[in-house]
Structure 1
Protein backbone atom coordinates (compact mmCIF):
# COMPACT_ATOMS: atom_id res chain seq x y z
CA UNK A 1 0.00 0.00 0.00
CA UNK A 2 1.41 3.38 -1.04
CA UNK A 3 1.24 6.38 1.28
CA UNK A 4 0.76 9.73 -0.45
CA UNK A 5 1.17 12.96 1.53
CA UNK A 6 0.66 16.10 -0.59
CA UNK A 7 2.24 19.34 0.56
CA UNK A 8 -0.59 21.59 -0.57
CA UNK A 9 -4.12 21.52 -1.94
CA UNK A 10 -3.08 21.74 -5.59
CA UNK A 11 -0.82 18.72 -5.21
CA UNK A 12 -3.61 16.84 -3.43
CA UNK A 13 -5.96 17.40 -6.38
CA UNK A 14 -3.28 16.33 -8.86
CA UNK A 15 -2.64 13.13 -6.91
CA UNK A 16 -6.36 12.46 -6.67
CA UNK A 17 -6.67 12.75 -10.45
CA UNK A 18 -3.60 10.60 -11.04
CA UNK A 19 -4.49 7.94 -8.44
CA UNK A 20 -8.32 7.76 -8.21
CA UNK A 21 -7.97 4.45 -6.36
CA UNK A 22 -6.15 6.15 -3.49
CA UNK A 23 -8.32 6.45 -0.37
CA UNK A 24 -8.43 9.96 1.17
CA UNK A 25 -7.70 10.06 4.89
CA UNK A 26 -7.59 12.90 7.42
CA UNK A 27 -8.77 11.87 10.89
CA UNK A 28 -8.75 8.17 10.00
CA UNK A 29 -11.40 7.26 12.55
CA UNK A 30 -13.34 5.14 10.04
CA UNK A 31 -10.67 4.24 7.50
CA UNK A 32 -8.08 2.87 9.91
CA UNK A 33 -10.65 0.68 11.66
CA UNK A 34 -11.60 -0.92 8.33
CA UNK A 35 -7.97 -1.41 7.32
CA UNK A 36 -6.94 -2.84 10.70
CA UNK A 37 -9.86 -5.28 10.65
CA UNK A 38 -9.15 -6.36 7.08
CA UNK A 39 -12.34 -4.87 5.69
CA UNK A 40 -10.56 -2.64 3.19
CA UNK A 41 -7.21 -2.72 1.43
CA UNK A 42 -6.84 0.33 -0.83
CA UNK A 43 -3.99 0.61 -3.32
CA UNK A 44 -2.87 3.81 -1.58
CA UNK A 45 -3.76 6.25 1.18
CA UNK A 46 -3.98 9.95 0.34
CA UNK A 47 -3.18 11.76 3.59
CA UNK A 48 -4.89 15.18 3.70
CA UNK A 49 -4.36 15.88 7.39
CA UNK A 50 -1.66 18.52 6.91
CA UNK A 51 -3.57 20.73 4.46
CA UNK A 52 -4.45 24.07 6.06
CA UNK A 53 -7.38 24.64 3.69
CA UNK A 54 -9.23 21.69 5.17
CA UNK A 55 -8.89 22.94 8.74
CA UNK A 56 -10.38 26.38 8.04
CA UNK A 57 -13.64 27.46 9.67
CA UNK A 58 -15.17 30.53 8.02
CA UNK A 59 -18.31 32.57 8.60
CA UNK A 60 -19.91 33.68 5.36
CA UNK A 61 -22.13 36.80 5.59
CA UNK A 62 -25.79 36.90 4.69
CA UNK A 63 -26.49 37.50 1.03
CA UNK A 64 -29.40 37.14 -1.32
CA UNK A 65 -29.69 33.37 -0.98
CA UNK A 66 -33.15 32.68 0.54
CA UNK A 67 -31.92 29.27 1.73
CA UNK A 68 -29.39 30.97 4.03
CA UNK A 69 -30.87 34.29 5.17
CA UNK A 70 -28.40 34.54 8.08
CA UNK A 71 -25.39 33.44 6.03
CA UNK A 72 -23.48 30.19 6.21
CA UNK A 73 -20.71 28.54 8.17
CA UNK A 74 -18.08 27.00 5.92
CA UNK A 75 -16.47 24.00 7.59
CA UNK A 76 -13.24 22.73 6.11
CA UNK A 77 -13.47 19.00 5.50
CA UNK A 78 -10.99 18.23 8.30
CA UNK A 79 -12.43 20.53 10.99
CA UNK A 80 -12.90 18.12 13.91
CA UNK A 81 -16.15 17.44 15.72
CA UNK A 82 -14.69 18.94 18.89
CA UNK A 83 -14.53 22.38 17.25
CA UNK A 84 -18.10 22.05 16.02
CA UNK A 85 -19.17 21.32 19.61
CA UNK A 86 -17.19 24.11 21.28
CA UNK A 87 -17.41 26.85 18.63
CA UNK A 88 -20.68 26.39 16.74
CA UNK A 89 -23.32 25.55 19.33
CA UNK A 90 -25.16 28.83 18.70
CA UNK A 91 -24.79 29.04 14.93
CA UNK A 92 -25.28 25.34 14.07
CA UNK A 93 -27.02 23.89 17.14
CA UNK A 94 -28.35 20.74 15.46
CA UNK A 95 -24.97 19.80 14.06
CA UNK A 96 -23.26 20.60 17.36
CA UNK A 97 -25.69 18.35 19.23
CA UNK A 98 -25.03 15.53 16.77
CA UNK A 99 -21.27 16.03 17.00
CA UNK A 100 -21.45 15.67 20.79
CA UNK A 101 -22.68 12.08 20.37
CA UNK A 102 -19.84 10.95 18.08
CA UNK A 103 -17.48 8.47 19.70
CA UNK A 104 -15.20 9.46 22.55
CA UNK A 105 -13.34 12.76 23.12
CA UNK A 106 -10.36 11.28 21.30
CA UNK A 107 -12.52 10.44 18.27
CA UNK A 108 -14.13 13.88 18.32
CA UNK A 109 -10.68 15.46 18.27
CA UNK A 110 -9.78 13.57 15.07
CA UNK A 111 -12.98 12.80 13.17
CA UNK A 112 -14.75 15.43 11.08
CA UNK A 113 -18.01 16.24 9.34
CA UNK A 114 -16.19 15.98 6.01
CA UNK A 115 -15.01 12.50 6.90
CA UNK A 116 -18.54 11.52 7.92
CA UNK A 117 -19.75 12.63 4.48
CA UNK A 118 -16.95 10.84 2.66
CA UNK A 119 -17.76 7.57 4.42
CA UNK A 120 -21.49 8.08 3.60
CA UNK A 121 -22.60 5.52 6.17
CA UNK A 122 -26.37 5.68 6.68
CA UNK A 123 -25.65 5.60 10.44
CA UNK A 124 -23.39 8.68 10.43
CA UNK A 125 -24.49 11.01 13.22
CA UNK A 126 -23.99 14.26 11.30
CA UNK A 127 -26.14 13.41 8.28
CA UNK A 128 -29.62 14.04 9.77
CA UNK A 129 -28.60 17.50 11.03
CA UNK A 130 -27.05 18.41 7.67
CA UNK A 131 -30.24 17.34 5.87
CA UNK A 132 -32.50 19.26 8.25
CA UNK A 133 -30.34 22.39 7.87
CA UNK A 134 -30.00 22.27 4.08
CA UNK A 135 -26.20 22.00 3.84
CA UNK A 136 -24.18 21.70 0.66
CA UNK A 137 -20.88 20.01 -0.08
CA UNK A 138 -18.02 21.72 -1.92
CA UNK A 139 -16.45 19.06 -4.16
CA UNK A 140 -13.23 20.00 -5.98
CA UNK A 141 -11.09 18.38 -8.66
CA UNK A 142 -8.52 19.54 -11.19
CA UNK A 143 -11.54 20.15 -13.45
CA UNK A 144 -13.16 22.69 -11.15
CA UNK A 145 -15.58 23.04 -8.23
CA UNK A 146 -19.11 21.73 -7.67
CA UNK A 147 -21.55 22.58 -4.88
CA UNK A 148 -23.69 19.51 -4.20
CA UNK A 149 -26.89 19.87 -2.13
CA UNK A 150 -26.75 17.40 0.73
CA UNK A 151 -30.07 15.93 -0.45
CA UNK A 152 -28.30 14.77 -3.64
CA UNK A 153 -25.08 13.61 -2.01
CA UNK A 154 -26.09 10.17 -0.70
CA UNK A 155 -26.45 7.54 -3.44
CA UNK A 156 -26.48 4.26 -1.52
CA UNK A 157 -24.96 2.42 1.40
CA UNK A 158 -21.52 4.05 1.82
CA UNK A 159 -21.83 5.59 -1.67
CA UNK A 160 -21.76 9.30 -2.36
CA UNK A 161 -21.95 11.63 -5.35
CA UNK A 162 -18.23 12.43 -5.55
CA UNK A 163 -16.53 11.73 -8.88
CA UNK A 164 -13.41 9.53 -8.72
CA UNK A 165 -11.13 12.58 -9.04
CA UNK A 166 -12.97 14.81 -6.52
CA UNK A 167 -12.22 15.65 -2.91
CA UNK A 168 -14.45 17.32 -0.32
CA UNK A 169 -13.00 20.72 0.44
CA UNK A 170 -15.72 22.05 2.73
CA UNK A 171 -19.27 21.73 3.97
CA UNK A 172 -21.38 24.92 3.86
CA UNK A 173 -24.18 24.95 6.42
CA UNK A 174 -26.78 27.74 6.76
CA UNK A 175 -26.69 29.46 10.14
CA UNK A 176 -29.69 28.54 12.26
CA UNK A 177 -32.58 31.00 12.22
CA UNK A 178 -34.66 28.94 14.64
CA UNK A 179 -34.35 26.08 17.14
CA UNK A 180 -32.77 22.79 16.08
CA UNK A 181 -32.63 19.41 17.81
CA UNK A 182 -31.07 15.99 17.35
CA UNK A 183 -31.75 12.66 19.01
CA UNK A 184 -30.57 9.12 18.45
CA UNK A 185 -31.34 5.71 19.86
CA UNK A 186 -28.50 3.69 21.30
CA UNK A 187 -27.40 2.09 24.58
CA UNK A 188 -25.81 5.42 25.50
CA UNK A 189 -25.31 8.88 23.99
CA UNK A 190 -21.80 8.41 22.61
CA UNK A 191 -19.41 5.66 21.52
CA UNK A 192 -22.21 3.73 19.82
CA UNK A 193 -23.49 3.41 16.27
CA UNK A 194 -26.98 4.85 16.14
CA UNK A 195 -29.83 2.36 15.88
CA UNK A 196 -31.67 5.31 14.31
CA UNK A 197 -31.52 9.09 14.59
CA UNK A 198 -33.67 12.14 13.84
CA UNK A 199 -32.86 15.84 13.47
CA UNK A 200 -35.41 18.65 13.27
CA UNK A 201 -34.70 22.28 12.35
CA UNK A 202 -37.21 25.13 12.41
CA UNK A 203 -36.85 27.89 9.81
CA UNK A 204 -39.42 30.46 11.02
CA UNK A 205 -38.59 33.18 8.52
CA UNK A 206 -39.19 30.79 5.64
CA UNK A 207 -42.13 29.00 7.26
CA UNK A 208 -40.30 25.70 6.85
CA UNK A 209 -39.39 22.70 8.99
CA UNK A 210 -36.43 20.45 8.07
CA UNK A 211 -36.32 16.79 9.10
CA UNK A 212 -33.39 14.40 8.59
CA UNK A 213 -33.32 10.70 9.46
CA UNK A 214 -30.30 8.45 9.93
CA UNK A 215 -29.75 4.70 10.18
CA UNK A 216 -33.27 3.86 9.03
CA UNK A 217 -32.81 3.49 5.25
CA UNK A 218 -30.00 2.62 2.81
CA UNK A 219 -29.03 6.31 2.92
CA UNK A 220 -29.73 9.20 5.26
CA UNK A 221 -33.07 10.67 4.15
CA UNK A 222 -35.26 13.73 4.49
CA UNK A 223 -38.87 13.30 5.53
CA UNK A 224 -40.27 15.62 2.87
CA UNK A 225 -43.95 14.76 3.26
CA UNK A 226 -43.70 15.28 7.01
CA UNK A 227 -41.93 18.61 6.48
CA UNK A 228 -44.64 19.86 4.15
CA UNK A 229 -47.44 18.63 6.38
CA UNK A 230 -46.27 20.29 9.60
CA UNK A 231 -45.29 23.49 7.79
CA UNK A 232 -48.84 23.63 6.46
CA UNK A 233 -50.29 23.11 9.93
CA UNK A 234 -48.14 25.91 11.35
CA UNK A 235 -49.02 28.28 8.50
CA UNK A 236 -52.75 27.54 8.43
CA UNK A 237 -53.07 28.12 12.16
CA UNK A 238 -50.80 31.18 12.11
CA UNK A 239 -48.80 29.34 14.77
CA UNK A 240 -45.44 30.78 13.75
CA UNK A 241 -46.62 34.21 14.91
CA UNK A 242 -49.05 33.20 17.65
CA UNK A 243 -46.68 30.57 19.08
CA UNK A 244 -49.57 28.48 20.34
CA UNK A 245 -48.97 24.77 21.05
CA UNK A 246 -49.00 22.40 18.09
CA UNK A 247 -52.24 20.38 18.20
CA UNK A 248 -51.51 16.87 19.53
CA UNK A 249 -53.19 15.23 16.54
CA UNK A 250 -50.94 17.18 14.18
CA UNK A 251 -47.84 16.18 16.15
CA UNK A 252 -48.88 12.52 15.97
CA UNK A 253 -49.52 12.74 12.24
CA UNK A 254 -46.14 14.40 11.76
CA UNK A 255 -44.46 11.53 13.63
CA UNK A 256 -46.30 8.98 11.47
CA UNK A 257 -45.13 10.68 8.28
CA UNK A 258 -41.53 10.82 9.48
CA UNK A 259 -41.64 7.09 10.23
CA UNK A 260 -43.19 6.46 6.81
CA UNK A 261 -40.16 8.08 5.16
CA UNK A 262 -37.96 5.26 6.50
CA UNK A 263 -37.14 1.95 4.84
CA UNK A 264 -35.29 0.18 7.66
CA UNK A 265 -33.98 -3.37 7.88
CA UNK A 266 -33.55 -5.94 10.63
CA UNK A 267 -29.94 -6.21 11.81
CA UNK A 268 -27.94 -6.93 14.96
CA UNK A 269 -28.70 -3.47 16.39
CA UNK A 270 -32.47 -3.53 15.98
CA UNK A 271 -35.46 -4.68 13.97
CA UNK A 272 -37.12 -2.69 11.22
CA UNK A 273 -40.30 -2.47 13.29
CA UNK A 274 -38.40 -1.10 16.28
CA UNK A 275 -36.65 1.48 14.13
CA UNK A 276 -39.92 2.75 12.68
CA UNK A 277 -41.42 3.04 16.15
CA UNK A 278 -38.32 4.77 17.55
CA UNK A 279 -38.16 7.23 14.65
CA UNK A 280 -41.79 8.20 15.26
CA UNK A 281 -41.13 8.74 18.95
CA UNK A 282 -38.01 10.81 18.30
CA UNK A 283 -39.73 12.85 15.60
CA UNK A 284 -42.52 13.84 17.98
CA UNK A 285 -40.07 14.64 20.78
CA UNK A 286 -37.59 16.65 18.71
CA UNK A 287 -40.40 18.64 17.12
CA UNK A 288 -41.79 19.30 20.60
CA UNK A 289 -38.43 20.46 21.95
CA UNK A 290 -37.94 22.77 18.97
CA UNK A 291 -41.44 24.20 19.20
CA UNK A 292 -41.23 24.87 22.92
CA UNK A 293 -37.92 26.66 22.30
CA UNK A 294 -39.55 28.72 19.55
CA UNK A 295 -42.41 29.63 21.84
CA UNK A 296 -39.95 30.64 24.56
CA UNK A 297 -37.65 32.47 22.19
CA UNK A 298 -34.76 30.17 23.19
CA UNK A 299 -32.56 27.70 21.35
CA UNK A 300 -33.13 24.79 23.77
CA UNK A 301 -35.99 24.58 26.32
CA UNK A 302 -34.35 21.82 28.35
CA UNK A 303 -32.16 23.00 31.26
CA UNK A 304 -29.07 21.06 30.24
CA UNK A 305 -29.59 20.82 26.47
CA UNK A 306 -27.84 17.86 24.94
CA UNK A 307 -28.80 15.14 22.54
CA UNK A 308 -30.37 12.33 24.54
CA UNK A 309 -31.10 8.81 23.53
CA UNK A 310 -34.83 8.61 22.93
Structure 2
Protein backbone atom coordinates (compact mmCIF):
# COMPACT_ATOMS: atom_id res chain seq x y z
CA UNK A 1 0.00 0.00 0.00
CA UNK A 2 1.35 3.42 -0.97
CA UNK A 3 1.18 6.36 1.43
CA UNK A 4 0.87 9.72 -0.32
CA UNK A 5 1.26 12.91 1.70
CA UNK A 6 0.56 16.17 -0.17
CA UNK A 7 1.26 19.42 1.67
CA UNK A 8 -1.05 21.73 -0.29
CA UNK A 9 -4.62 21.51 -1.55
CA UNK A 10 -3.44 21.71 -5.16
CA UNK A 11 -1.09 18.79 -4.58
CA UNK A 12 -3.87 16.81 -2.93
CA UNK A 13 -6.17 17.27 -5.92
CA UNK A 14 -3.38 16.30 -8.30
CA UNK A 15 -2.64 13.16 -6.29
CA UNK A 16 -6.31 12.18 -6.22
CA UNK A 17 -6.51 12.71 -9.98
CA UNK A 18 -3.51 10.46 -10.54
CA UNK A 19 -4.75 7.86 -8.02
CA UNK A 20 -8.57 7.91 -8.13
CA UNK A 21 -8.77 4.63 -6.21
CA UNK A 22 -6.69 6.01 -3.31
CA UNK A 23 -8.53 6.59 -0.03
CA UNK A 24 -8.19 9.98 1.72
CA UNK A 25 -7.30 9.84 5.40
CA UNK A 26 -7.19 12.60 7.97
CA UNK A 27 -8.61 11.58 11.35
CA UNK A 28 -8.52 7.92 10.41
CA UNK A 29 -11.32 7.02 12.81
CA UNK A 30 -13.14 4.98 10.15
CA UNK A 31 -10.39 4.14 7.66
CA UNK A 32 -8.03 2.66 10.25
CA UNK A 33 -10.75 0.45 11.70
CA UNK A 34 -11.37 -1.04 8.26
CA UNK A 35 -7.63 -1.55 7.74
CA UNK A 36 -7.11 -3.11 11.16
CA UNK A 37 -9.93 -5.59 10.60
CA UNK A 38 -8.84 -6.20 7.01
CA UNK A 39 -12.23 -5.12 5.67
CA UNK A 40 -10.72 -2.82 3.07
CA UNK A 41 -7.21 -2.71 1.66
CA UNK A 42 -6.93 0.20 -0.81
CA UNK A 43 -3.91 0.48 -3.10
CA UNK A 44 -2.98 3.84 -1.57
CA UNK A 45 -3.83 6.29 1.21
CA UNK A 46 -3.79 10.06 0.74
CA UNK A 47 -2.78 11.75 3.98
CA UNK A 48 -4.54 15.14 4.15
CA UNK A 49 -3.37 16.20 7.60
CA UNK A 50 -0.86 18.70 6.19
CA UNK A 51 -3.44 20.57 4.08
CA UNK A 52 -4.37 23.67 6.13
CA UNK A 53 -7.51 24.64 4.19
CA UNK A 54 -9.33 21.58 5.44
CA UNK A 55 -9.22 22.65 9.09
CA UNK A 56 -10.39 26.24 8.62
CA UNK A 57 -13.82 27.83 8.69
CA UNK A 58 -14.99 31.29 7.70
CA UNK A 59 -18.23 33.21 7.14
CA UNK A 60 -19.64 33.00 3.64
CA UNK A 61 -22.76 34.96 2.81
CA UNK A 62 -25.30 34.35 5.55
CA UNK A 63 -23.66 31.08 6.54
CA UNK A 64 -20.34 29.46 7.34
CA UNK A 65 -18.01 27.53 5.05
CA UNK A 66 -16.44 24.78 7.15
CA UNK A 67 -13.41 22.83 6.00
CA UNK A 68 -14.15 19.12 5.69
CA UNK A 69 -11.36 18.24 8.12
CA UNK A 70 -12.51 20.44 11.01
CA UNK A 71 -12.73 18.17 14.04
CA UNK A 72 -15.92 17.47 15.98
CA UNK A 73 -14.28 19.03 19.03
CA UNK A 74 -13.78 22.32 17.20
CA UNK A 75 -17.32 22.22 15.82
CA UNK A 76 -18.60 21.93 19.37
CA UNK A 77 -16.37 24.73 20.65
CA UNK A 78 -16.46 27.14 17.71
CA UNK A 79 -19.57 26.54 15.61
CA UNK A 80 -22.36 25.75 18.10
CA UNK A 81 -23.97 29.11 17.42
CA UNK A 82 -23.68 28.73 13.65
CA UNK A 83 -24.82 25.08 13.45
CA UNK A 84 -26.67 24.05 16.65
CA UNK A 85 -27.90 20.64 15.46
CA UNK A 86 -24.52 19.71 14.01
CA UNK A 87 -22.82 20.71 17.27
CA UNK A 88 -25.30 18.58 19.24
CA UNK A 89 -24.60 15.65 16.94
CA UNK A 90 -20.86 16.21 17.31
CA UNK A 91 -21.15 15.96 21.11
CA UNK A 92 -22.67 12.49 20.71
CA UNK A 93 -19.78 11.12 18.65
CA UNK A 94 -17.83 8.39 20.43
CA UNK A 95 -15.18 9.57 22.92
CA UNK A 96 -13.20 12.82 23.37
CA UNK A 97 -10.24 11.20 21.62
CA UNK A 98 -12.35 10.32 18.58
CA UNK A 99 -13.97 13.76 18.55
CA UNK A 100 -10.51 15.30 18.50
CA UNK A 101 -9.69 13.41 15.29
CA UNK A 102 -12.96 12.70 13.51
CA UNK A 103 -14.62 15.13 11.11
CA UNK A 104 -17.76 15.73 9.07
CA UNK A 105 -15.71 15.15 5.93
CA UNK A 106 -14.93 11.67 7.17
CA UNK A 107 -18.62 11.00 7.81
CA UNK A 108 -19.46 12.17 4.32
CA UNK A 109 -16.68 10.18 2.71
CA UNK A 110 -17.66 6.94 4.40
CA UNK A 111 -21.38 7.66 3.92
CA UNK A 112 -22.46 5.20 6.59
CA UNK A 113 -26.20 5.70 7.22
CA UNK A 114 -25.45 5.76 10.96
CA UNK A 115 -23.07 8.74 10.76
CA UNK A 116 -24.05 11.44 13.23
CA UNK A 117 -23.40 14.37 10.89
CA UNK A 118 -25.83 13.32 8.16
CA UNK A 119 -29.23 14.12 9.77
CA UNK A 120 -28.26 17.72 10.72
CA UNK A 121 -26.83 18.35 7.26
CA UNK A 122 -30.08 17.15 5.67
CA UNK A 123 -32.33 19.03 8.08
CA UNK A 124 -30.53 22.35 7.60
CA UNK A 125 -30.12 22.00 3.82
CA UNK A 126 -26.33 22.19 4.01
CA UNK A 127 -24.25 22.08 0.83
CA UNK A 128 -21.24 19.82 0.17
CA UNK A 129 -18.30 21.31 -1.73
CA UNK A 130 -16.46 18.82 -3.95
CA UNK A 131 -13.19 19.57 -5.74
CA UNK A 132 -10.91 18.00 -8.32
CA UNK A 133 -8.36 19.18 -10.87
CA UNK A 134 -11.39 19.73 -13.12
CA UNK A 135 -12.81 22.37 -10.80
CA UNK A 136 -15.09 22.84 -7.81
CA UNK A 137 -18.80 22.13 -7.55
CA UNK A 138 -21.39 22.24 -4.81
CA UNK A 139 -24.01 19.58 -4.15
CA UNK A 140 -26.91 20.04 -1.70
CA UNK A 141 -26.78 17.48 1.09
CA UNK A 142 -30.28 16.44 0.05
CA UNK A 143 -28.83 15.28 -3.30
CA UNK A 144 -25.54 13.88 -2.00
CA UNK A 145 -26.60 10.43 -0.76
CA UNK A 146 -27.32 8.11 -3.68
CA UNK A 147 -27.24 4.61 -2.18
CA UNK A 148 -25.68 2.49 0.53
CA UNK A 149 -22.24 4.09 1.04
CA UNK A 150 -22.60 5.64 -2.42
CA UNK A 151 -22.60 9.41 -2.89
CA UNK A 152 -22.47 12.07 -5.60
CA UNK A 153 -18.68 12.40 -5.20
CA UNK A 154 -16.79 11.35 -8.34
CA UNK A 155 -13.72 9.10 -8.06
CA UNK A 156 -11.27 11.92 -8.71
CA UNK A 157 -12.93 14.36 -6.27
CA UNK A 158 -12.16 15.21 -2.67
CA UNK A 159 -14.62 16.62 -0.16
CA UNK A 160 -13.38 20.15 0.43
CA UNK A 161 -15.90 21.85 2.67
CA UNK A 162 -19.47 22.10 3.90
CA UNK A 163 -21.56 25.26 3.60
CA UNK A 164 -23.72 25.59 6.71
CA UNK A 165 -26.66 27.97 6.24
CA UNK A 166 -27.33 30.54 8.96
CA UNK A 167 -29.88 29.17 11.47
CA UNK A 168 -33.27 30.84 11.07
CA UNK A 169 -34.89 29.01 13.96
CA UNK A 170 -34.35 26.29 16.55
CA UNK A 171 -32.46 23.12 15.65
CA UNK A 172 -32.18 19.83 17.51
CA UNK A 173 -30.53 16.43 17.13
CA UNK A 174 -31.23 13.21 19.00
CA UNK A 175 -29.98 9.66 18.75
CA UNK A 176 -30.54 6.42 20.58
CA UNK A 177 -28.09 3.57 21.07
CA UNK A 178 -27.55 0.43 23.05
CA UNK A 179 -25.78 2.44 25.77
CA UNK A 180 -25.24 6.11 26.67
CA UNK A 181 -21.82 6.69 25.10
CA UNK A 182 -19.30 5.23 22.64
CA UNK A 183 -22.15 3.83 20.58
CA UNK A 184 -23.26 3.61 16.97
CA UNK A 185 -26.77 5.02 16.58
CA UNK A 186 -29.65 2.57 16.44
CA UNK A 187 -31.64 5.53 15.10
CA UNK A 188 -31.03 9.27 14.90
CA UNK A 189 -33.06 12.32 13.98
CA UNK A 190 -32.54 16.04 13.39
CA UNK A 191 -35.04 18.86 13.00
CA UNK A 192 -34.59 22.49 11.96
CA UNK A 193 -37.26 25.19 12.02
CA UNK A 194 -36.86 28.05 9.55
CA UNK A 195 -39.01 30.94 10.71
CA UNK A 196 -38.01 33.09 7.72
CA UNK A 197 -39.35 30.68 5.10
CA UNK A 198 -41.83 28.97 7.46
CA UNK A 199 -40.46 25.57 6.60
CA UNK A 200 -39.26 22.59 8.61
CA UNK A 201 -36.29 20.40 7.76
CA UNK A 202 -35.69 16.85 8.94
CA UNK A 203 -32.93 14.26 8.76
CA UNK A 204 -33.13 10.57 9.61
CA UNK A 205 -30.15 8.31 10.29
CA UNK A 206 -29.65 4.54 10.76
CA UNK A 207 -33.13 3.74 9.49
CA UNK A 208 -32.56 3.26 5.75
CA UNK A 209 -29.73 2.41 3.33
CA UNK A 210 -28.93 6.13 3.19
CA UNK A 211 -29.62 9.12 5.44
CA UNK A 212 -33.06 10.41 4.43
CA UNK A 213 -35.58 13.19 4.96
CA UNK A 214 -39.21 12.89 6.04
CA UNK A 215 -40.65 15.26 3.43
CA UNK A 216 -44.33 14.60 4.09
CA UNK A 217 -43.76 15.14 7.82
CA UNK A 218 -41.94 18.41 7.10
CA UNK A 219 -44.79 19.75 4.96
CA UNK A 220 -47.46 18.63 7.40
CA UNK A 221 -45.98 20.18 10.52
CA UNK A 222 -44.99 23.41 8.75
CA UNK A 223 -48.69 23.92 8.05
CA UNK A 224 -49.64 23.17 11.66
CA UNK A 225 -47.19 25.55 13.34
CA UNK A 226 -48.30 28.98 14.53
CA UNK A 227 -45.29 30.82 13.15
CA UNK A 228 -46.41 34.29 14.29
CA UNK A 229 -48.36 33.76 17.47
CA UNK A 230 -46.49 30.89 19.01
CA UNK A 231 -49.56 28.91 20.08
CA UNK A 232 -48.85 25.36 21.27
CA UNK A 233 -49.16 22.56 18.75
CA UNK A 234 -52.19 20.34 19.07
CA UNK A 235 -51.23 16.96 20.59
CA UNK A 236 -52.72 15.21 17.58
CA UNK A 237 -50.44 17.14 15.25
CA UNK A 238 -47.37 16.14 17.27
CA UNK A 239 -48.44 12.50 17.20
CA UNK A 240 -49.07 12.65 13.47
CA UNK A 241 -45.66 14.18 12.88
CA UNK A 242 -44.01 11.27 14.67
CA UNK A 243 -46.02 8.79 12.61
CA UNK A 244 -45.08 10.47 9.34
CA UNK A 245 -41.40 10.53 10.26
CA UNK A 246 -41.44 6.84 11.18
CA UNK A 247 -43.27 5.99 7.94
CA UNK A 248 -40.26 6.91 5.77
CA UNK A 249 -37.93 4.53 7.61
CA UNK A 250 -36.74 1.37 5.86
CA UNK A 251 -34.78 -0.20 8.72
CA UNK A 252 -33.34 -3.68 9.14
CA UNK A 253 -33.10 -6.08 12.04
CA UNK A 254 -29.56 -6.37 13.34
CA UNK A 255 -27.63 -6.90 16.58
CA UNK A 256 -28.26 -3.29 17.64
CA UNK A 257 -32.03 -3.32 17.31
CA UNK A 258 -35.03 -4.59 15.40
CA UNK A 259 -36.71 -2.75 12.55
CA UNK A 260 -39.84 -2.25 14.64
CA UNK A 261 -37.83 -0.80 17.52
CA UNK A 262 -36.05 1.61 15.18
CA UNK A 263 -39.36 2.90 13.82
CA UNK A 264 -40.76 3.32 17.33
CA UNK A 265 -37.62 5.12 18.55
CA UNK A 266 -37.65 7.38 15.52
CA UNK A 267 -41.24 8.40 16.17
CA UNK A 268 -40.44 9.19 19.81
CA UNK A 269 -37.34 11.24 18.92
CA UNK A 270 -39.28 13.14 16.26
CA UNK A 271 -41.99 14.13 18.74
CA UNK A 272 -39.51 15.12 21.41
CA UNK A 273 -37.24 17.21 19.22
CA UNK A 274 -40.28 18.90 17.68
CA UNK A 275 -41.53 19.82 21.16
CA UNK A 276 -38.12 21.25 22.10
CA UNK A 277 -37.90 23.26 18.88
CA UNK A 278 -41.43 24.64 19.15
CA UNK A 279 -40.82 25.63 22.78
CA UNK A 280 -37.71 27.55 21.74
CA UNK A 281 -39.62 29.19 18.88
CA UNK A 282 -42.37 30.32 21.24
CA UNK A 283 -39.82 31.73 23.69
CA UNK A 284 -38.25 33.69 20.84
CA UNK A 285 -41.62 35.22 19.93
CA UNK A 286 -42.30 36.16 23.57
CA UNK A 287 -38.90 37.81 23.91
CA UNK A 288 -39.46 39.82 20.73
CA UNK A 289 -42.87 40.92 22.03
TM over 0.5: same fold? yes
Please state if 1:6 is matched with 2:6.
yes
Contact 1:100 1:190 in 2 (8 A): no
Structure 2 CA distance, aligned partners of 1:114 and 1:59?
A: 18
Runs of 4+ in 1 over 6 A off after TM superposition: none
Please state if 1:18 is matched with 2:23.
no
- Measured after TM superposition, the shift of residue 89 of structure 1 is 1.3
- Measured after TM superposition, the shift of residue 141 of structure 1 is 0.5
Aligned equivalent of 1:248, options 201, 219, 235: 235
- Measured after TM superposition, the shift of residue 261 of structure 1 is 1.0
Cα 1:89/1:189, change in 2 over 3 Å: farther
Please state if 1:281 is matched with 2:268.
yes
> Which residue is equivalent to 2:197?
206
Please state if 1:297 is matched with 2:284.
yes
Structure 2 CA distance, aligned partners of 1:241 and 1:178?
A: 13
- Measured after TM superposition, the shift of residue 36 of structure 1 is 0.5
Contact 1:89 1:96 in 2 (8 A): yes
Structure 2 CA distance, aligned partners of 1:161 and 1:205?
A: 29
1:166-205 alpha-carbon deviations (Å, 9 max, x no partner): 0011011112111111110113343100000000111011
- Measured after TM superposition, the shift of residue 59 of structure 1 is 1.3
Aligned equivalent of 1:265, options 249, 252, 257: 252
- Measured after TM superposition, the shift of residue 222 of structure 1 is 0.6
> Which residue is equivalent to 1:153?
144
> Which residue is equivalent to 2:119?
128
1:13-49 alpha-carbon deviations (Å, 9 max, x no partner): 1110110111011110000011011111000000111
- Measured after TM superposition, the shift of residue 88 of structure 1 is 1.3
Q: In the comparison of the two structures, how many residue pairs are matched?
A: 285
Structure 1 CA distance, aligned partners of 2:143 and 2:17?
A: 23
Partner of 1:218: helix, strand, or coil? coil
**Aligned-residue CA RMSD in angstroms?**
1.0
Contact 1:209 1:231 in 2 (8 A): yes
Contact 1:101 1:189 in 2 (8 A): no
Structure 1 CA distance, aligned partners of 2:267 and 2:186?
A: 13
Structure 2 CA distance, aligned partners of 1:172 and 1:190?
A: 28
1:45-72 alpha-carbon deviations (Å, 9 max, x no partner): 00111101101111123xxxxxxxxx11
What TM-score, normalized by structure 2, do the two folds share? 0.97
